[in-house]
Amino acid sequence: AVLTDPAGRDTAAAAGLPVLAVPDPRAVLGKTASAIYGDPSAKLTVIGLTGTAGKTSTAYLADAGLRAAGLTTGLIGTVETRLGDLSVKSARTTPEATDLHAMLAVAVERGVTAVVMEVSSHALALGRVGGVRFTVGGYTNFGQDHLDFHASAEDYFAAKAKLFDGRCRFEVLNADDPALLPLTKPDTIGYSASGDTAATWYATGITGDATGQRFTAHGPGGAVPAGVALPGRHNVANALLALAVLVAAGIAPRVAARGIAACPGVPGRLERVHSPGDVTGVVDYAHKPDAVVAALTALREVASARGGALVCVIGAGGDRDRGKRPLMGAAAARGADIVVITDDNPRTEDPAAVRAAVRRGAEQAGASTKIIEVAGRRAAIDEAVRLAGPGDVVAVLGKGHERGQEVNGSVLPFDDRIELAAALAGRLGGAA
């Protein structure tokens, strides 16, 4: 059978197949797919996570908490799609509705009992999660991104808000983000990394270093020792959100907290590139202004503790939101001592034009910051490591876990972690 709109009815009928014509096929595709696959989400605990930044980190932390409770889990998101012990690289953050319900059906067949899913604004706008019965929905934060797809920031916000239109049994929102206030309801579960005691969950006593943080999580059942193996206050917020959604889903607070604290890290999210030398290398997926601020704030603490400076390699994606490019440059210039501007994924745009937009924002914001431009990402990483001194931190931002660079319709092999490790090894060899 073919699901189409009235304009496609005759074309579909000419193929000799049964035709169902509706005004908006995407609006019913999810529910249709769910019915075809036997309503698989109803047989699972499904945790959906949306927000501008932090979805992937929170998803991995929540998955770790579920596994600590003895559940067989699934994970659907930016980095991978994992159903039990079967894992494949993800093509997009949230699959199309037909693929998504097929995956959930496979999850049920493989004995999975709980799935953590990243829910993108594209997915919500395009109806990809239609028909999914969410046990819990969580919202990390709201900032600028994807204005190449959404008509405005208001449209972007409205798309994300669709996750909280009654499709989740429980809703968990960041109480520290005033942008989310309009979504708050009497039964909303709030969380606060800043220690706002009015929130359902809040953190106090935050301590930590480059290897992670410890804090006390206060919730409806009392205080729970908690931690996360990542630096940065934003990762306390991510851990707190993971804890809140897990408890809402029925996991005991202490079990959930132990699982979150034991999670070794998240691919490409403040991921340390190990080197025996005197420079610390870190790779992060930060590719939007707020994420750049959060990553550099966390790494500034690491650099300061080592008595070193912070060197940042940054670019911006081509064929994407042009308005955020100078904002990302400005965020880098305010957060780092040295900024090396280079290419991210140029796609079909002129890389020099993209770099120029990032540089313009950096130069307008960072009067005391050293700003240089290096064409070619590998050369930029090498230059950043060359400029770094003992105790410094080199942060390569933008691509994180990605293993390719999109250039003129081709995906060229490129992994920031491998390139940074090679540059650090070369530095060590040169010093020997």
Summarised one tens digit per residue, pLDDT across range 100-135 is 999 999 999 999 999 999 999 999 999 999 999 999
pLDDT at 432: 36
Q: Where are the domains of the chain?
A: 37-262, 271-431
In this predicted structure, the answer to whether residue 147 has a pLDDT above a threshold of 90 is no
- CATH no. for 271-431: 3.90.190.20
pLDDT at 404: 97
Asked which of 9-18, 311-320, 346-355 is least confident by mean pLDDT, the reply is 9-18
Residues ≥6 apart with Cβ < 8 Å to 430: none
Asked which of 157-171, 277-291, 417-431 is least confident by mean pLDDT, the reply is 417-431
Q: How confident is the model at residue 430 (pLDDT cuts 50, 70, 90)?
A: low
Q: Which CATH architecture has domain 37-262?
A: 3-Layer(aba) Sandwich (3.40)
Q: How confident is the model at residue 370 (pLDDT cuts 50, 70, 90)?
A: very high
Residue type, 113: T
- Rounded CA gap, 407 and 379, in Å? 16
Residue type, 280: T
Mean pLDDT of 291-308: 96
Q: For residue 294, which of 257, 261, 334 has the smallest C-alpha distance? A: 334
pLDDT at 423: 97
Mean pLDDT of 209-223: 95
Structure tokens of 130? 């239609």
pLDDT tens, position by position, 173-214? 999 999 999 999 999 999 999 999 999 999 999 999 888 999
pLDDT at 125: 95
Asked which of 1-10, 318-327, 342-351, 382-391 is least confident by mean pLDDT, the reply is 1-10
Mean pLDDT of 44-65: 98
Q: How confident is the model at residue 171 (pLDDT cuts 50, 70, 90)?
A: very high
Kindly report the number of other CB atoms within 10 A of residue 395's CB atom: 29
Asked which of 140-154, 224-238, 257-271 is least confident by mean pLDDT, the reply is 140-154
pLDDT tens, position by position, 236-289? 999 999 999 999 999 999 999 999 999 999 999 999 998 888 999 999 999 999
Contact 261, 226 (CB under 8 A): yes
pLDDT at 17: 86
Question: What percent of the chain shows pLDDT beyond 70?
Answer: 99
Asked which of 82-96, 140-154, 353-367 is least confident by mean pLDDT, the reply is 140-154
In this predicted structure, the answer to whether residue 366 has a pLDDT above a threshold of 80 is no
